Chain A
Amino acid sequence: MAARLELGDIQGTVLRGRPMPYFGSYFVFSVDDGAQARTLLRRLLPRITSAADWEKPSENAWINVTFSHAGLRKLGMPREILDAFPVEFRQGMAARKEYLGDVGANDPAHWDMPHGGTGLDIGILVMAGSPELREQKVEIGQEAVRGLGGVRTIHRMDVGLPPTMREHFGFVDGISRPYIDGQGGTPLPGQPVAKAGEFVLGYENELGAIASGPGPDALWRNGTYVSLRKVHQDVAAFRRFLRDNADSPEAQELLAAQMMGRWRSGCPMALSPERDDPELARDPMRNNDFGFLKEDPDGHRTPAGCHIRRVNPRDALDGSVVDMRLHRILRRGSTYGPVLPEGVTEDDGIDRGLMLAVINANPGRQFEFVQSQWVNDGDFISQGERSDPIAGRRDRSDEFAVPRPRKRYRGLAAFSQTRGGEHLFLPGLGGIRWMVENLG
């Protein structure tokens, strides 16, 4: 029986996808005065979009609110509750850099988006179907903070889909995601059904337990965590790698597809290994309907080390130590920065990339597991230190292997570099109300 999710209490971004095209902004607030921050929350509370309201066509713009551990402390959260949050959230993402592979070029010393240790206390996400609607919502946020000198806006980053409708490396993004039990509708072919407690606190998870948080139920029920990552994409280096390792435009497309596991259209190599099939890519009834265990255990169609077999191995690890159900993530990706013009292979010095908002009720066994064990390591597929050819760290290995025809590529650059990140608490509306009424 499907879980009965309290949609009116869950912040919309947990369950609902962004519009297409989308125009969003991430705002970072730093709190100097807890009482004023609580006033901000009191003002914002009626304007926050729940999952029940998300698809109201009249509005087509949304606002959601998140908190870092430091932010909760400054809001006046009692010490015993602060100490009972998951260790990943307590420490913050920057402190976990060694484990997450955020070393070298990815080191928090180079991050340009604030994190919990550098002023990110409250994060507000605005998402809209047009730039005008976005600015209307931004105005609501600015109105809410007016006169509150103890709450400072320290960072704003706008996101939006480029005119190409693809992320900067040229791939259609956001094709695969789990279906959350109780979210409404029906799962698509190939879409795994995940228990709601994997993504929302207060519901049964895949371990058969009720996912819970610290302190009173009213604080954490219908809340969750967002593992936020700002990822700079070195598009010029990616293009140079393709150019230098493939001798025709077709061969470059094939190599890009082998690294991703999907053609740039989104067509899965598992279903069309020889050539792109844009029609298949657009068909939601087919574009996720595949597995790896029986059809392609050795990666002859979809290389085992490619991006999509790392972030979502599907059934490939059945029979191994890994229980795939425990490591599912819900990924909300959005792009930032201008497109590097087609054909350009020298960096123009302009920052562009992805903002990843990973929704997970247990950041340790979901986002951090995927990042540390699958994206940044190769042991789980018997590939030693090799990492994700698109998104992985490069300080241990710069190799990518294709089994058929057998070829080993060397010299992969750090195509994706971390430029910011934090584990944030995304409470339900009732949780924010509890904070307003009980803290201070």
Chain B
Amino acid sequence: MSTAKIDPEKAALTQPCTNQPDGPGRRIGKRGEIHVIGTVLPGGAKLFRERVGRFQAEAGYWESRIGTVHDFRVVLFDNDTRILVSAVYDGDFVPYLADVVSNAGAWFDMLMPGVWDGYTHAADPATVKLIEGQAYTADAFYAANPDLSIKDIAKMRRLARAVNEMLDAAN
């Protein structure tokens, strides 16, 4: 059987997957993805490991400020010579880069300087260009509930809680 042949039964639930309209990354409904791969500076891995604990501890605070990220990860790989930053988020990527840098720049600044080659500080206009220049688009992507944003999910949770409370009171 040819590997290129698509089984129509299994493809019945396929999701329309497009490129982001204005930059790197794939898109399904409201959900976008991005991978950025940079080079680690000599000695950068040691700095990274010293700092990553605090970076992890503050992830909830900073990501809630951004408010559109479903999941996010940072990985050192290739024997600590390269760094991968990836995220699944709501909406477009490039148009919000300046806002993300403005809102969560301090969080990245506690981890990246001296680690990621080319990264000075978030407010440096070169940072947006660095991210855009080292961004990669997924070749395959899947998103559950691609039409629900972080805001929508929070709203539905509030709604579900209210309905449950009402039903509890009625009983």
Contact = CB atoms under 8 A, between A and B. Distances in A.
Contacts of A320: 67
10 contacts: A209-B123, A321-B68, A323-B103, A365-B98, A372-B95, A373-B92, A377-B91, A379-B90, A382-B152, A384-B152
Given A379-B151, A382-B152, A207 B103 contact: no
Contacts of B30: 379, 384
Interface residues of A, number: 23
Given A321-B100, A372-B92, A379-B149, 10 more contacts: A96-B22, A99-B22, A207-B102, A207-B125, A323-B103, A326-B98, A326-B102, A369-B95, A372-B95, A382-B155
A98 interface: yes
A343 interface: no
B98 A207 contact: yes
A208 interface: yes
A215 B65 CA distance: 37
A260 B164 CA distance: 36
Interface of B: 21-22, 30, 65-68, 90-92, 94-96, 98-100, 102-103, 123, 125, 147, 149, 151-152, 155
A207, A321, A369, A384 interface centre (most CB from chain B within 10 Å):
A321
A209 B122 CA distance: 12
Binding site of B, secondary structure by majority: helix, strand, loop or mixed?
helix
Given A379-B149, A382-B152, A368 B99 contact: no
B120 to A, nearest CB: 13
Nearest to B68: A321
B99 A326 contact: yes
Nearest to A209: B125
Interface in A311-340: 319-323, 326
B123 A208 contact: yes
Interface of A: 96, 98-99, 207-209, 319-323, 326, 364-365, 368-369, 372-373, 377, 379-380, 382, 384
A379 B148 CA distance: 9
B152 A368 contact: no
Contacts of A208: 123
Contacts of B22: 96, 99, 368, 372
Nearest to A212: B125
A321 B21 contact: no
The 6 residue pairs across chains A and B that have the minimum distance between CB atoms: A323-B102, A99-B21, A382-B151, A321-B66, A99-B22, A323-B99
A122 to B, nearest CB: 28
A323 B21 CA distance: 21
Given A98-B21, A99-B21, A321 B103 contact: yes
Contacts of A373: 91-92, 95
Contacts of B21: 98-99, 372
